[in-house]
Homo-oligomer: A and B are copies of this chain.
Amino acid sequence: MFDAKKFVENSLKDIRKIVGEHRVISACSGGVDSTVTTVLVHKAVGDRLVAVFIDDGLRREGEPEFVVKTLKSLGIRTKFIDAKKEFFAVFKGKTDAEEKRKAFRDKFYKTLGKAAKEEQIEFIAQGTIKADIIETVKGIKSQHNVLEQIGISPESYGYKILEPLKELFKPDVRKVARELGLPKEISERMPFPGPALSLRVLGEVTPEKIAVVRKATEIVEDETKALGTFQNFAVLHNDKATGIKEGKRVYGNIVTVRIVDSEDAVTAKAGKVPHKILMRIAERITGEIPSVVRCLYDLTDKPPATIEFE
């Protein structure tokens, strides 16, 4: 049995020992992993931690405001970085999934590195968990926060990495969040990938396409709150399909709804969702987003699919 209290005690000691008198920066996306990491480090080193929220333009509706407000309410020194334009610029012309991930990762580390320099810190704290490491090492995904595991030296970016959760799986991270007294919106928060909505736009990532998938995501989350599933989201395809809007043939967007049950994201089951709920989601997505003519539901378990599309 995992003992969250004991884990927190040991973590605080470890972090203090590793960090010493240095300063730490923590990139907090608002997800449970990065928020628990941020709070743990804050508890360990106090104001020698600065949390940064990088607004890459790829977040869910209202998320930047929510995360910054939450961190400040916990008494954590927080820096907001508006990098929307820069992120969209690096995605320009890139359609390959792996290229997009790499472009995101590179821009993320550069942005963070710049902030780290300004703050004169030595350590970057990251919310890497065990599943990320397993899958990156196996070659199943290229996670943006497990540089060490894939043989990239974090020193080349100019800092050291602190990963207090790297031995934990998701359910244990949630236990730690509860132990730390974090609000439910954090401790029970649905997983959301580092590169965020950029993975949920197939093909080139543009502000227009992100706006479509952001709205679709909002509808899916709104209609599936009561399901208790592990992860619920929307994906915007690059392919188009024919449809009929206002009596005329149009060539419009396709959105896929993905709902999965999982313990730890290493394997997952396609959710068995009542037909009525799926139809309501499809009606809302095609009704409320003018460019969308088709709504699909992903029937595939992991494996053979992954949870995300890219």
Contacts and interface: CB of A to CB of B under 8 A. Distances in A.
Interface of A: 97-98, 138-141, 202-203, 237-245, 247-249, 251, 256-257, 270, 272, 275, 278-279, 281-282, 286-287, 293-306, 308-310
A296 B294 contact: no
A241 to B, nearest CB: 4
B298 A242 contact: no
A213 to B, nearest CB: 14
A241 B296 contact: no
A195 to B, nearest CB: 13
A142 to B, nearest CB: 9
Quick one: which of A139, A140, A242 has the most chain B CB within 10 A? A242
Nearest to A199: B242
B294 A298 contact: yes
Contacts of A237: 237, 239
Contacts of A247: 138
Given A139-B249, A281-B299, A305 B243 contact: yes
A242 B306 contact: yes
Contacts of A310: 241-242
A120 B139 CA distance: 64
Contacts of A249: 138-141, 306
A237 B247 CA distance: 26
Contacts of A270: 279, 282
A225 B108 CA distance: 51
B302 A239 contact: no
A242 B300 contact: no
Contacts of A241: 97, 202, 305-306, 309-310
Nearest to A135: B249
Contacts of A303: 243-245
Quick one: which of A241, A251, A279, A293 has the most chain B CB within 10 A? A241
B272 A286 contact: no
Given A286-B300, A298-B294, A141 B242 contact: yes
Contacts of A245: 303-304
Contacts of A299: 257, 278-279, 281-282, 295-297
Contacts of A300: 243, 282, 286, 293-296
A281 B297 CA distance: 13
Given A140-B249, A241-B310, 19 more contacts: A97-B241, A138-B249, A139-B248, A202-B240, A203-B239, A237-B237, A242-B309, A243-B305, A243-B306, A244-B306, A270-B279, A293-B304, A293-B305, A294-B298, A295-B298, A295-B300, A296-B296, A296-B297, A297-B299
A299 B301 CA distance: 18
Nearest to A136: B249
A282 B305 CA distance: 11
A97 B251 contact: yes
Contact of A286 (B97, B297, B304): B304
